[in-house]
Structure 1
Amino acid sequence: MQHRTPIDIENVLLKHIPSVCYQCEQTRGMGCNVTSGVCSKTPETTAIQDYITWLCVQFAVKAVQDRDVIADEMLVLFNQAMFSTVTNVNFDDVDLMLYADILAERMGSIGITGVKKSAAEAASTLKDYGLAHRIHKFGETVAGLRETVVYGIRGAAAYADHVFVLEGLDPVRKETWMNVEAMAELNKDDLSVDALLGLTLKVGEANFGIMAALDKAHNAALGQPSFAPVNTRPVEGKCILITGHDMDDLHKLLEQCEARGVNVFTHGEMIPAHAYPALRKYKCLVGNYGTSWRNQRKEFPLFPGPVLFTTNCIMPPREDYKHRVFTTGRVGFPGLTHVANGEFESVIAAALEAPGYTKADVEAANAESPLLVGAMHAEVLSHAGKVLELISAGKLRHIFFIGGCDGSTPGRNYFSDLAEAIPDDCLILTGACGRFRINRVKDYGDIEGIPRLLDVGQCNDVFSAIKIAVALSEATGLAVNDLPLSLCVSWFEQKAVAVLLTLLHLGIRNIRLGPSLPRFLTPDALAVLADKFALKPTNNKDAKGDLADMLAGEH
């Protein structure tokens, strides 16, 4: 079923080497192939990331052939290198080349030679392994499915990295090897569509195990999450804003800020932190500021303190606040201060020098209702009896999942329009930064004490939504795909791919994906997935029409 791509791939894309990228939903046209991408990533950065990916394929081939020579540190390094190539993680070419150099050096130690290149060589030889080359070689459909495997591994690598930080490699050793095996297969030129579909499901299976391990690690380190209201108004005093996904970094920051009189606000995907008892016990964790990552260049200039990025979601900072932006972990951006090993004294010092919130700021702020978080699986399932009673009595008609990655492309108002139109006898699960599209649309109220809007957590906490669905399936005797449950997932980058592949691995069908399909899902590639999994795009011009279909049982 290989679809040969038109000749313009050769005449257009190949002329723009090394600047081609289409790994996120906001990609321009055939791919970001100008001086910089929509995300502001440069062609050189794209080239180095493709070089790192190529290195990881070569490593994976050797690893599968001779597992005995692969030390744990090399598996972790493989994972970290793949994480570094996720959208909006690292824009620093020097830092990225360090990953490449270390990886090439370790590969040399196990007998893989001829892979070390300089940054300039990596850019100039992208024609040998870059995206344009792959599309030209394999055609759009096969190339797109191959990219889906790569992007799924990248997303899973991000989640696995959090597990490594908390508990080391052992909880996800099996899953890391599964991803290495899938990566090694991409060194073959003759992979069929069926073989590639098998690899996507293998990556989805690995990611499911990784999400389960991360859920367990978070609960062990931070306690069982539960419902918690989150303040969204200013609190007087010096302050720090922390964004990203890394709960361990937040824990360390809170420990260091508690005795210093510095308040901490979460942002974006850190808002679920308020659900964990080991974090909310700190008095300095005072609330959440702002919305999703896409608004940071409008919201961060107004925050009166430093901002700490812990994982992906960084955008090029504006000059008026760039001096007070810090990075840690895998995040990198030229000109910013990088803080390693959880030593946040420089961030705290910047907070003490910044104005912070004044009493006047507090008095001038608009009154806002707290946002409820903490609807992870254990908390929701503790109310399972009541939920089943409501279903049996006809008082709970349908459950929707509306969430995922947020972004700036047109059409994302679909999700808020859909949420606003959902009848009062339905529950809405939400999660990831897509929550900010719907959690302030209106007061959703409750159904006999069960909140109608249930925030299941970060993108990795889709695991909670899965657990809830499986529990409802077991309790009702209905297959998951026969439940009155519909999934409307907002797409953006590689973590979304990993989560999507996990859902497909679990056999969940009829997922609506939007607001626009990722560039690498060509019409032919989508047809393959739609035929096998009933994957369908959202109707961005008719959210109410989609709603009617879902309520009628067309999910």
Structure 2
Amino acid sequence: MSARPAANDQVWPSGEQLDVARILKDNASACYQCEQARGPGCNTKSGVCSKSPETTAIQDHITWLCMQFAATALKDRTKVTDEQLVLFNRAIFTTLTNVNFDDDALMRYADDLTAELANLGVKGVQKSAAEARATLNEFGLAHRLHKFGQTLGGLRETVIYGIRGAAAYADHTFVLAGLEPVRKETWMNVEAMAELSKDDLSVDTLLGLVLKVGEANFGIMAALDKAHNDALGQPSFAPVNTRPVEGKCILITGHDMDDLRKLLEQCEPRGVNVFTHGEMIPAHAYPALRKYKCLAGNFGTSWRNQRKEFPLFPGPVLFTTNCIMPPRDDYKHRVFTTGRVGFPGLTHVENGEFEPAIKAALEAPGYTKADVEAANAESPLLVGAMHAEVLSHAGKILELIGAGKLRHIIFIGGCDGSTPGRNYFSDLAEAVPDDCLILTGACGRYRINRVKDYGDIEGIPRLLDVGQCNDVFSAIKIAVALSEATGLAVNDLPLSLCVSWFEQKAVAVLLTLLHLGIRNIRLGPSLPRFLTPDALGVLADKFALKPTNNGDAKADLADMLAGEH
């Protein structure tokens, strides 16, 4: 079946329709979660991320159990406890890309969901680990596409993956502020998941669920933004050291700022320096974190490079939240996980008790004086351009716009990945004229934050790092404030969004932007396999989505500057 053309007649690099019959015939539990899936899906010995078909089957089983829980919960909300609501959210979180590869840990979530369904009066859903692994396609995407077709099936998956991404942000909020700030939004995701348990959903109904999940995620991101600011102080511009610092050291990656705070508290009296990695670099913007002398800097780049970068770090690595890749044998012994992260054979620590990781840091070589002297000179990276900091300069920004000194603002960021064509984003950033600002965020920042020295426009840095992927909320706040100040609709602002895709949090962010009515978003360089060409055609027609232009960044830039956002 050929792809349905989008209304804008551009070619989307989304591949062919999935060969559902072949996958079902092979009884393979194919994974289609991320943009990096190859062929008919990652369904042979392991996926691109090294996830096994058995792990995929268990995650699909958890997703099905969450649907059953959601449908049951809506029959009588008064019977659902807070603990059950949190379990639903956290179980969904564990099914994200690169969160948990530990089948035993995943089955504990499945068992807990089964037990809570029994408490709510639902019997007969118990499935052992062996059964879940044996019935590889029973709950998988190929089964669902076979049942619902490429258009409805693809739209259903878009909703599922959006819920998964929103669940990650909700879990971060639980850690900092509990369930209450996101109770309403968590129930909205329960409602959307319950709808997906029905067989007779139309395209219009599914588009409504797309926007519902986007609305829920917007509320969750707002709550998480407040929770971060309440707990850690208002972020502000801060330079981040990228050079070695002599002494014992530990590296923290993922997204969890509360884990970082606890680690800093425990490392400061022990003389252990803490380096951030990946999506933890915005931590340096928060006053409650950068007050610690042991917060020494940032090491490395995005998650995709960890297997070549981590062997070079002379201390242990602590994974929070997600973005773990199967560790190489030469550093596996010094990798620790916490929270929802899991991988077989690694040491898992809970409740902020990081002594095992700190002990490993004290036993590791750490950085020597020779390491410091041999390091290449690098300029610090600037972080902290969250909404309050940027809007404190709103008068100057508006003055520059009015004087014609600031022509355009372009957001270039999102999830990083290793698929071909991602040089598009660095090419785009390098080509942006000096009278334009660039907003960036998420691990896609590492594609552009070392491309060149971007300089400033009369004191306003041209490259503004708005924070983690959830901090796209800051970019939204900035856009809304500019809209109110100029009297222009957001879609009429000199503002363009060019977003790199990889996994489910990117889906949740996209759905949020669609909920807010933002159009003409460019996505690329390729799209995840679950988003079938037919489903993509529906979304492109409805929301004026655009593909990155076959890697031609300069052509896209010309369109953006001409007002074709």
1:218 aligns with 2:228: yes
1:549 aligns with 2:559: yes
Residue 55 of structure 1 is aligned with which of 31, 47, 65? Answer: 65
Q: Secondary structure at the match of 2:330?
A: helix
Amino acid of the residue matched to residue 543 of structure 2?
Answer: F
Alpha-carbon distance change, 413 to 3 in structure 1, aligned in 2, over 3 angstroms:
closer
1:326 aligns with 2:336: yes
- Inter-partner Cα distance in structure 2 for 1:521 and 1:101: 30
Q: 2:118: which partner in 1?
A: 108
Residue 253 of structure 1 is aligned with which of 241, 263, 274? Answer: 263
The Cα offsets for residues 271-295 of structure 1, whole Å up to 9 and x where unpaired, read as: 0000000000000001000000000
Q: What pairs up with 1:351-390 in 2 under 5 angstroms?
A: 351-390=361-400
The Cα offsets for residues 401-444 of structure 1, whole Å up to 9 and x where unpaired, read as: 00000000000000000000000000000000000000000000
Q: What pairs up with 1:476-515 in 2 under 5 angstroms?
A: 476-515=486-525
Residue 448 of structure 1 is aligned with which of 458, 463, 474? Answer: 458
- Inter-partner Cα distance in structure 2 for 1:8 and 1:175: 32
- Inter-partner Cα distance in structure 2 for 1:7 and 1:159: 31
Q: Say if 2:29 and 2:136, in contact at 8 Å, map to a contact too.
A: no
Q: 1:192: which partner in 2?
A: 202
Q: Say if 2:401 and 2:407, in contact at 8 Å, map to a contact too.
A: yes
The Cα offsets for residues 91-116 of structure 1, whole Å up to 9 and x where unpaired, read as: 00000000000110111011011111
Q: What pairs up with 1:396-415 in 2 under 5 angstroms?
A: 396-415=406-425
- Inter-partner Cα distance in structure 2 for 1:129 and 1:148: 16
Residue 531 of structure 2 is aligned with which of 521, 525, 529? Answer: 521
Q: Secondary structure at the match of 1:385?
A: helix
Q: Say if 1:211 and 1:463, in contact at 8 Å, map to a contact too.
A: yes
- Inter-partner Cα distance in structure 2 for 1:42 and 1:125: 14
Residue 318 of structure 2 is aligned with which of 308, 312, 318? Answer: 308
The Cα offsets for residues 492-520 of structure 1, whole Å up to 9 and x where unpaired, read as: 00000000000000000000000102212
Offset at 1:7?
Answer: 11
- Inter-partner Cα distance in structure 2 for 1:80 and 1:247: 18
1:41 aligns with 2:58: no
Q: 1:231: which partner in 2?
A: 241
Identity of aligned residues (%): 85
More displaced, 124-133 or 24-33? 124-133
Alpha-carbon distance change, 8 to 256 in structure 1, aligned in 2, over 3 angstroms:
closer
Q: Secondary structure at the match of 1:278?
A: helix
The Cα offsets for residues 317-340 of structure 1, whole Å up to 9 and x where unpaired, read as: 000000000000000000000000
1:340 aligns with 2:350: yes
- Inter-partner Cα distance in structure 1 for 2:388 and 2:3: 46
- Inter-partner Cα distance in structure 1 for 2:530 and 2:405: 42
- Inter-partner Cα distance in structure 2 for 1:224 and 1:504: 28
Higher RCO (C-alpha 8 Å, min separation 6): 2
Q: 1:96: which partner in 2?
A: 106
Alpha-carbon distance change, 207 to 10 in structure 1, aligned in 2, over 3 angstroms:
closer
Q: Secondary structure at the match of 1:487?
A: strand
- Inter-partner Cα distance in structure 2 for 1:151 and 1:323: 32
Offset at 1:540?
Answer: 3.5
Q: Say if 2:440 and 2:466, in contact at 8 Å, map to a contact too.
A: yes
Gaps of 5+ in 2: 5-15
RMSD: 1.5
Q: 2:166: which partner in 1?
A: 156
Q: Say if 2:3 and 2:17, in contact at 8 Å, map to a contact too.
A: no
Offset at 1:8?
Answer: 7.8
- Inter-partner Cα distance in structure 2 for 1:436 and 1:354: 28
Q: 2:11: which partner in 1?
A: none
Q: Secondary structure at the match of 2:523?
A: strand
Offset at 1:119?
Answer: 1.2
Q: Say if 1:9 and 1:136, in contact at 8 Å, map to a contact too.
A: no
1:177 aligns with 2:192: no
Q: Secondary structure at the match of 2:496?
A: strand
- Inter-partner Cα distance in structure 2 for 1:551 and 1:9: 40
Q: 2:9: which partner in 1?
A: none
More displaced, 285-294 or 22-31? 22-31
Q: Secondary structure at the match of 1:553?
A: coil
The Cα offsets for residues 344-389 of structure 1, whole Å up to 9 and x where unpaired, read as: 0000000000000000000000000000000000000000000000
Q: What pairs up with 1:13-24 in 2 under 5 angstroms?
A: 13-24=23-34
1:120 aligns with 2:130: yes
1:134 aligns with 2:144: yes
Q: Secondary structure at the match of 2:562?
A: helix
Q: Secondary structure at the match of 1:386?
A: helix
- Compute the TM-score of the two structures, normalised by the length of structure 1: 0.98
Gaps of 5+ in 1: none
Question: Which aligned segments of 4 or more residues in structure 1 are displaced greater than 3 angstroms?
Answer: 6-11
Q: Secondary structure at the match of 2:563?
A: helix
- Compute the TM-score of the two structures, normalised by the length of structure 2: 0.97
Aligned residues: 554
More displaced, 513-522 or 462-471? 513-522
Q: 2:42: which partner in 1?
A: 32
More displaced, 333-342 or 17-26? 17-26
The Cα offsets for residues 8-50 of structure 1, whole Å up to 9 and x where unpaired, read as: 8454111333421111000112211211111100000000000
